[in-house]
Structure 1
Amino acid sequence: MPKPINLTTVVLGLVEQLGRLPLPVLRCLGVLLGLGLYVGVGSRRRVVRTNMSLCFPHWTSWEIRLYSLRTFVGFAQAWLDRGWLWTASPELLRRRLKLVGACHELDGQEPTVLFAPHFFGLDAAWTALTLGVPRRFTTIYTDQQNKTSDAWILRGRRRFGSPNVLGRVDGVKPVLASLKRSEPLYLLPDMNFGPEESLFVPFYGVPAATVPSLSRFAKLGRAKVVPVIARMTAQGYSIELLPAWRDFPTADLRADTATMNLRLQGYIDAMPAQYYWVHKRFKDRPDGEAGPY
């Protein structure tokens, strides 16, 4: 009896094959895929529009529709880009991935937490860092329900630099141990991971359940915080390292977490269509407040 076809394996294999195309062609395919997702996935389209309505109340309905569409296109393009991010030669990757800005912040062995917001280029930034910076990096990974997809993502993220990819269920101790070994921690703390470990602090003026891990890890690991902002470009990605935050962390965990969200807003304002608005950022609410979705 023939073995059942694993549809996920077929799709991921197709993504890798498409990754061999010239980048302009692949990005055009991303436009078509993004348009299809925008039209076909109404539930997620409503999430994006709700997020934008809450965060940008001054936008017109036309602007919200336009940026929602651009968000779906960017999401699709970034997904297809993983076909070359995780298979192409190091030489090609160096041409398409440009590390810019305060790269000196990663010189030496000073404990460092990299604040990596959920822009669509987050995997491009990780690949550029693990390929181009001679330090071992650590990150925290959330297991995917689809085990085939899970294995594919982990293989891609472990491709260069022998990184330390920790599971979210592993807890705090291995993360702190990695910081003590001077392994920069690539941290993505700007999603809603549930109210249990979160603080409600403003995000664009709206209370948002936010994990205080950036301040906590920086304090416990005696580490500096360096933002890393990935921007999709026509040539690939520009990954900008910003100067370390000199006034962070403080003794006030809640104030630090609010500061993180406030500074994140500035990064988003520079390229709002490249942020991960497809996530239900405001799903969890303070007691007695109705959810927006």
Structure 2
Amino acid sequence: MSSFVARVLYVLAGLLGRLPWSWQRRLGDAIAALWLRRDARESRVVRVNLELAYPGLPPAERAQWQRAIMRTTARQAVETLRLWTRPHAENLRLLREQHGTDLFDAAVASGKGLIVAAPHYGNWELLNQWLASRTPLAILYRPPESAIGEAFLNLVRADTDAERVTQVRAEGAAVRQLWKRLNAGGVVGILPDQQPKAGDGEFAPFFGVPALTMTLLGRLAERTGATVLFAYCERIGTDADPLGFALRIEAAPDGIAAPDPQRACVALNAAVERIARRDPAQYQWTYKRYTLRPSGDGNDNPYRSR
């Protein structure tokens, strides 16, 4: 049953994904307007995150940022349907610019292993497709809570290069699989700004607020000697232009592979924050990044009752 429902959803996604981009953009803007008017969960989470990350921002300007973030978030949801349901080779033509690919090629050629840290900025699904077009890799992901969602993801991420991508569930055996691949000189992709489970991370500043941060990336880098690069596909152009992206690959900051997990987490968050500040509207502010607090009792969860 889950497979059947997933296929129905895939057909619907394909229909939406084949609309002209101008129509898709208007659809995204309509969804964003609805979220704002109804003060939906996404809108509330964005508001809380902006209050935490930009406390000095005047209320009127913060509201303006919130509207821009909601619009970009909704457009991204629609554009991702397009990326999921069209051939990957066609999608990659949306990359109008590519920067830092020499760093990527050199890291792969070194045979020391490569960790690609891909923050929730721009469109990470397009980044996954570019990575798969260049090299076999393993991608660590958090599986959806529903069987239908899992089946749908398996459908939309299938393509001619699907056999080059090993999707590793963020569960107990994940570390062993990633470790083995890196020690063999392979490539691993990790979304570094997801909140880990309590006890699986360290608190480090993120936009000046303590955020529970994964230690996995730093541990893998320190113990395998793998290179760490940050990568993202950033939207470029104006509303009058066709949909387009710039691929950017950058060296990780010093300290990302420090033996001290606290120092490694500080370096990790600093790198993600720097990328997010390039264009705050393109960062995933709808994610509850600060749910777990240093106190550990959950009473100061900023999203409670939001």
Structure-2-length-normalised TM-score: 0.86
8 A contact 1:218–1:225 mirrored in 2? yes
Q: 1:181 aligns with which of 168, 184, 190?
A: 184
Counterpart contact for 1:15–1:82, Cα < 8 Å: no
Counterpart amino acid of 1:165?
A: Q
Q: CA deviation at 1:60?
A: 1.2
Structure 1 28/112 Cα, relative in aligned 2: closer, same or farther at 3 Å? same
1:220 and 1:168, CA in 2 relative to 1: closer, same or farther beyond 3 A?
same
Q: How many percent identity over aligned positions?
A: 23
Letter in 2 for 1:240: R
Residue of 27, 41, 44 corresponding to 2:42: 44
Amino acid at match of 1:212: T
Which residue of structure 1 lines up, in the alignment, with residue 52 of structure 2? 54
Is the contact made by 2:253 and 2:267 (CA closer than 8 Å) also made in structure 1? no
Range that drifts further, 7-16 or 80-89: 7-16
Find out whether 1:206 has 2:245 as its counterpart: no
Native 8 Å contact 2:140 2:168 kept in 1: yes
Q: Tell me whether 1:280 sits opposite 2:282 in the alignment.
A: no
Q: Check conservation: 1:227, 1:244, Cα contact below 8 A.
A: yes
Task: Tell me how far 1:204 sits from its aligned partner.
Answer: 1.3
Show CA shifts across 1:219-275 (max 9, x none): 122111101022123523222111354654122211111111112211111110111
Distance 2:223 2:157 in 1: 26
Q: Secondary structure at the match of 1:286?
A: coil
2:119, 2:193 within 8 Å by CA — same for their partners in 1?
Answer: yes
Judging changes above 3 Å, is the alpha-carbon distance between structure 1 residues 45 and 94 closer, same or farther for their aligned structure 2 residues?
closer
Within 1, Cα distance between the matches of 2:142 and 2:273?
24
Aligned pairs for 1:254-293 (under 5 A) are 254-287=262-295, 290-293=300-303
Q: Determine if contact 2:141/2:190 at 8 Å carries over to the other structure.
A: no
Please say if residues 200 and 209 of structure 1, whose CA atoms lie closer than 8 Å, have aligned partners that are also in contact. Answer: yes
Distance 2:76 2:143 in 1: 20
Give the superposed CA RMSD. Answer: 2.3
Structure 1 residue 12 displacement after superposition: 4.2
The residue that corresponds to 1:232 in the other structure is 235
Which range is displaced more, 192-201 or 232-241? 232-241
Match of 2:28 in 1: 30
Q: Does structure 1 retain, via aligned residues, the 8 Å contact 2:6–2:151?
A: no
Change beyond 3 A, Cα 1:99–1:193: farther
Which position in structure 1 is the counterpart of 2:79? Answer: 81
> SS in structure 2 opposite 1:86?
helix
1:148 corresponds to which letter in structure 2? I
Map of 1:103 onto structure 2: 101
Tell me the CA shift for residue 155 of structure 1. Answer: 2.9
Give 1:167 deviation, angstroms: 0.8
Cα deviation per residue 1:136-183 (whole Å; 9 max; x = unaligned)? 011112111222222222333343252011111133100111112322
Calculate the TM-score normalised by the size of structure 1. Answer: 0.89
TM-aligned CA deviation for residue 201 of structure 1: 1.1
Supply the distance in 2 between the matched residues of 1:54 and 1:278 (Cα, whole angstroms): 13
- Opposite residue 207 of structure 2, the aligned amino acid is Y
SS of corresponding position for 1:15: helix
The answer (yes or no) to whether the contact 1:117–1:229 under 8 Å persists in 2 is yes
Give, as a single letter, the amino acid of the residue that structure 1 aligns with 2:27.
Answer: L
Q: Match for 1:281: what amino acid? A: R
Rounded to whole Å, the distance in 1 between the matches of 2:88 and 2:143 is 27
